[in-house]
Chain A
Amino acid sequence: MARRNDTLSMRLSPFQKIYLLLVAGFIVGPFLPVIVQSLAFRWAWPELLPGTWWLEQREKSMLPLAWDYVLSPYSRVWEATVNTVFIGLVVTAICLAICLPVARLLARESFPGKSAFEFFLSLPLIVPEAAIGIALLMIFIRLGLAGSYAGIIIAHLIPTIPYMVRMLAAVYQGLGREFEEQAMILGARPLQILWRVTLPMLLPGVVAGALFTFLVSTNIFLLTFFLGQGQVITLPTLLFSKISGGNLDTTAAGITLIVTLPGIILLIISERFIKEEAFGKGFGS
């Protein structure tokens, strides 16, 4: 480890190191105050670090204040986490099911209006989320979908489908027809081809797309807030209700950290999955 660091620092120029540190700062920076806050007992302006740490007051509270609150049933963190993960998973699954055939079409076939279709694919990302949210709310109230899981899931598909289609179309373009044709000639039926050839070969793209969709879904606040109607709470809406007062107290810091957990866990799983499962041991037999 030490040797690797040595060679690294020898090969990099000061400028390269500064850029790396800058990016690292942007990535890790936002976490630091939140982690510090979650472990503070009292942290008032203008102190640079908490005036009183939890550790000094541990006889008054078993856990850091933030975690004591987060882990208690009053916080509804558990409910929000389950909702967030459930909605994220369902959105990802539906998104994949819709986008796989569409991506295949875009990558392999030509049809009238194809370029227009591709051009307008990103439209939902351009329209402000608030506008989509309000419009959907009007419709969903009439349909009785407001405040339901179904309503939120449908709303989450709007910003996620454009990303997913693009990602999958790109990987489909790299997958020639001949692999599926070869599988057919060898006697494989359509489902066997999908399961044993197409999906494993698309796996890096599918995993990346699914991961991205899940993360976007778990981070959507406005659409969930409008369409959840306070009846379905997720981590982002719970966090918003905590910080809408304008101050980031220790409990909000705790929730913030919880919000990042599903994403981090997923990131680790997918990283291992892509490396070991798909190209190390083989897949689908």
Chain B
Amino acid sequence: MTQVQLNSVRKQFGHFVAIENLDLDIASGELVALLGPSGCGKTTTLRMISGLERPSNGAILFDGKDVSEQAVQDRNVGMVFQRFALFPHMTVEKNVAFGPSVRGAPKAEIARKLDEILEVVQLTPFRTRFPAQLSGGQMQRVAVARTLITEPSILMMDEPLANLDTKLRVEMRRFIRDLQQQLGITTIFVTHDQIEAMELADRVAVIFDGRLAQFDTPEHIYRYPRSLDVADFMGATNIYPGRLLSRNRVGTALGEIACPHQNDRSAGDSVRVLLRAEALDMSTGSVESGGPGFQGRIKARDFFGASVTYRVACNGQEIDVTENARRMRDVGDDVRLEIAPEQVWLLNG
């Protein structure tokens, strides 16, 4: 149970600034994702927390204690690497026992802990195998066990689900979540995949170009992104420039849209309107004159199994609409689009 705090941390490699004034407060026992495109500095951040890199400026605090200058070995952190970094010349047992063994724990204690942790990760039958004889999921469980046996105060993971196939991802996601909740260990992981971040994390820190863009719950980041970059990275497609007509009405090329009451903006402000594809209601038929909604025609259809995304031409604009796949519409259908005001989100233009 450790609380992690980054105070205006900065990291520079030569002339390249990897991280610029990053402030981050991670609560004890929290599961946090560092999300961003590759090269944004998220891995550097993780490496600084682990102690593999020293910050150029700023401080890293564990439970209020500055550890910026502490050696990796003394921080008592755990890290699961993207490609697991299992020692190929050691069996599963030897890999898992590596931590306590180099720390000089008594043999009997190592043996007891080893049995216990192998049971937790369900690898007891594989204890004498070499990493080359394991599947991807088993390798990851060995890597997790090897880290957990050292009882780290913080668990870090680099792209934990990236190297697994779809079915295994679901399994490992549950496994990591359950384990994390069972142990209550502060966990930080890095990913470039917004789905992975949303699936796993309590809170997501979105990082662009070495700066923290937003740090919030997955739901908030998805529904209420603070910037266009965040919205774009979270997969939003329907973003239209517009102008506030009043505090709860916005004009766009699609037409007039009712929006939540804007306390900080006033009529005439230019904004960008985010309409999430799954928040739009689509129905057959046409808009009564003066009634709510827009008239459109389906131009294309993408089938994803559980859901379908239609591309709808609407007042000279294109708009994506995602629906449950129970009912399929056809290309060329005339449709009416509506959106509830509370589902509309405005970004600064």
Where the two chains meet, the residues of A that have a C-beta atom closer than 8 Å to any C-beta of B are: 176, 178-179, 181-189, 192, 196-197, 200-201, 203, 278-279, 282-285
Contact assessment for A188 and B98 in the assembled complex, using a CB-CB cutoff below 8 Å: yes
Asked if B228 is at the interface of the complex by the 8 Å CB criterion, the answer is no
Which of A186, A192, A196, A200 gathers most chain B CB within 10 Å?
A186
Q: List 16 A-B contacts (CB under 8 A).
A: A178-B85, A183-B98, A183-B102, A185-B73, A185-B77, A185-B79, A186-B78, A186-B147, A187-B99, A200-B87, A201-B87, A201-B89, A279-B89, A282-B94, A283-B89, A285-B101
CB of B134 to closest CB in A, whole Å: 15
Interface pair A178/B81, CB less than 8 Å apart: yes
- The yes or no answer to B146 lying at the interface (CB within 8 A) is yes
Q: Answer whether residue B15 sits at the interface, using C-beta atoms and an 8 A cutoff.
A: no
Whether the pair B50, A185 counts as a contact (CB closer than 8 A) is yes
Cβ distance B99 to chain A, nearest Cβ, rounded Å: 4
- Chain B: minimal CB distance from A67 (Å): 43
Taking a contact as CB atoms under 8 Å apart, the answer to whether A186 and B150 are in contact is: yes
Query: B91 to chain A: which residues have CB within 8 Å?
Result: 282
Given known contacts A178-B85, A279-B89, A186 and B50 CB-to-CB distance under 8 angstroms: no
Contact (A187, B150) CB under 8 Å given A282-B90, A285-B94: yes
In the complex the two chains form, what is the Cα distance from A189 to B51 in whole Å? 14
Residues on B with C-beta less than 8 A from A283 are 89-90
Complex Cα distance, B150 from A184, in Å, reads: 12
Given A185-B52, A187-B103, A282-B90, does the pair A178, B83 have CB atoms closer than 8 Å?
A: yes
How far does the Cβ of B82 sit from chain A's closest Cβ, in whole Å?
8
Q: Are A182 and B73 in contact (CB under 8 A)?
A: no
In this complex, how many residues of chain B approach chain A with their Cβ under 8 Å: the count is 27
Contact residue among A179, A185, A192, A282 (Cβ-Cβ distance under 8 Å from B72) = A185
Chain A neighbourhood of B130, CB < 8 A? 279
Contacts of A178 in B (CB 8 A): 81, 83, 85
Q: Contact between B89 and A185 (Cβ–Cβ < 8 Å)? A: no
Partner of A182, one of B51, B85, B94, B101: B85
B88 interface residue, CB < 8 Å from A?
Answer: yes
Closest to B105 in A: A187
**B85 close to A176 (CB less than 8 A):** yes
User: What string of 1s and 0s marks CB contacts (under 8 Å) between B84-126 and chain A?
Assistant: 0101111100100011011100000000000000000000000
CB of B52 within 8 A of CB of A181, answer: yes
Whole-angstrom CA separation of A284 from B98 in the bound complex: 11
Could you tell me if B102 and A189 are in contact, using CB atoms closer than 8 angstroms? yes
Q: Give the one of A178, A200, A278 with max B CB within 10 A.
A: A178
The distance in angstroms between the C-alpha atoms of A279 and B91, with both chains bound, is: 9
Task: Note all chain B residues with C-beta closer than 8 A to A186.
Answer: 78, 98-99, 102, 146-147, 150
Shortest Cβ distance from A271 into chain B, in angstroms?
17
Complex-state Cα separation, A197 to B147, whole angstroms: 16
**Those 4 A-B pairs whose CB atoms lie nearest each other, nearest first:** A186-B99, A188-B102, A182-B85, A178-B85
CA distance A201 to B95 in the complex (A): 13
- Closest approach, in angstroms, between the C-beta of B341 and any C-beta of chain A? 50
Q: Which residues of A contact B72 (CB under 8 A)?
A: 181, 184-185
| Interfacial chain A residues near B87, Cβ < 8 Å | 179, 182-183, 197, 200-201
User: Hey, which chain A residues are within 8 Å of B99, CB to CB?
Assistant: 186-187
A285 to B96, CA, bound (A): 13
Type the 1/0 row for B316-336, where 1 means its CB is closer than 8 Å to any CB of A.
000000000000000000000
Q: How far does the Cβ of B48 sit from chain A's closest Cβ, in whole Å?
A: 13
